Amino acid sequence: MRIGQLARAASISPRLLRHYEAQGLIQSRRLENGYRYYTPDTVEQVRWIRDLLECGFSTRQIQGFIHCFGQEHFDAEQCAAGLAQHREKLRELDELVAVLTERRRRLVERMEHLFGLNTSSSTGNELCNNLTEKSS
């Protein structure tokens, strides 16, 4: 498939596909007319890349283990570095969740103290309405 077809199938721009190729994340071969040609399984590979980017991996990190995806059987030993990076990313996300949970707790505490709100039994909309009523 050509780059436009791949872009439509993967729901991303041809420019981003060229970027992924320049980063070594996907490969194409050139046809006689100079057009890039991608295999149909590149669509799934692009989806993996996008998912990994959304999880917080950089393209450089993905380069190190992209070859592990698309195999029928994932060889954890062969891809141990990729597995270690996934575990590290999971640890980072767990830390971020803990930080955000603590920030949320402190914000609720502050709202209850400053505005006399019982935030534990109110929804976000109710809180906004209560704040509006109190400031009127």
In DSSP notation, 27-88 reads: --EE-TTS-EE--TTHHHHHHHHHHHHHTT--HHHHHTTGGGTT-SS--TTTTHHHHHHHHH
Q: How far apart are alpha carbons 8 and 2 in whole angstroms?
A: 10
In the predicted model, what is the mean pLDDT of residues 31-42?
93
Q: What pLDDT score was predicted for residue 123?
A: 59
Q: What pLDDT score was predicted for residue 120?
A: 64
Region 1-70: CATH code: 1.10.1660.10
Q: What pLDDT score was predicted for residue 90?
A: 95
Query: To the nearest whole number, what is the mean pLDDT of the chain?
Result: 87
pLDDT band at 38 (very low <50, low <70, confident <90, very high): very high
Q: What pLDDT score was predicted for residue 74?
A: 64
pTM exceeds 0.85 for this model: no
pLDDT in tens, 62-102: 988 888 876 666 666 668 888 888 999 999 999 999 999 99
Q: Name the β-bridge partners of 30.
A: 36
Q: What pLDDT score was predicted for residue 71?
A: 63
pLDDT of 130 over the 90 cut: no
